[in-house]
Amino acid sequence: MSDAFAPPPAPGGDTSAEQRQWAMFAHLSAIVGGLLTSIVGGWGTFAGPLIIWLVKKDTMPFVDDQAKEALNFNITIAIIALIMTIITMVTFGIGIIFTGPILVIVGIAWLVLTIIAAMKANEGQSYRYPFALRLIK
């Protein structure tokens, strides 16, 4: 496993129940944001992790780490969805044969990985998504 995917040690030893809870909320807020904005394409998936990261980054190191991870993953998923949409539009809809199944697979993976990340964060474990652009450091 490369260092890019290795979770960092828990900041400052044990994480408090409050930090674990906020870290879990950072991951789950992406699902809530996706559900609330599904009529406009689900672009709200990174709003929740962004807000939690901005509010808690200076006071809770574990939340800082996990909210950034959730934010990076959801930005990556949004980029994938945008690329698939562009491919579909450029091919006048014929590309949906290719992009449709990919979007279904990516959507299922997004949901499953987000739930796993939330569970790990609630246990106080740093979680690294298997594929995510590390745009926010």
Comparing 42-56, 58-72, 120-134, which segment has the lowest mean pLDDT? 42-56
Token pair recorded at residue 69:
């991870």
| Residue pair 80/106 in contact by the 8 Å Cβ criterion | yes
Task: Write the secondary structure of 77-112 as one string of H (helix), E (strand) and C (coil).
Answer: HHHHHHHHHHHHHHCCCCCHHHHHHHHHHHHHHHHH
**Alpha carbon of 60 to those of 18, 21, 67, 85: distances in Å?**
9, 11, 10, 37
When pLDDT is cut at 50, 70 and 90, the band that residue 10 belongs to is: very low
Q: What share of the chain is helix, strand, coil (3-state, %, to 5)?
A: 70, 0, 30
The pLDDT score that the predictor gives to residue 39 is 62
Structural domains in the chain (count): 1
The pLDDT score that the predictor gives to residue 40 is 58
Q: Is residue 57 assigned to a domain?
A: yes
Question: What tens digit of pLDDT does each residue of 26-42 get?
Answer: 999 999 888 887 665 56
C-alpha 52/C-alpha 57 separation (Å) is: 8
Q: Is residue 136 assigned to a domain?
A: no
| Residue pair 114/122 in contact by the 8 Å Cβ criterion | no
Q: Is residue 52 assigned to a domain?
A: yes
Enclosing domain of residue 117? 17-122
Is this structure's pTM higher than 0.75?
Answer: yes
The pLDDT score that the predictor gives to residue 47 is 86
Q: Is residue 130 assigned to a domain?
A: no
Q: Is residue 40 assigned to a domain?
A: yes
Question: What tens digit of pLDDT does each residue of 67-126 get?
Answer: 999 999 999 998 998 999 999 999 999 999 999 999 999 999 999 999 999 999 999 999
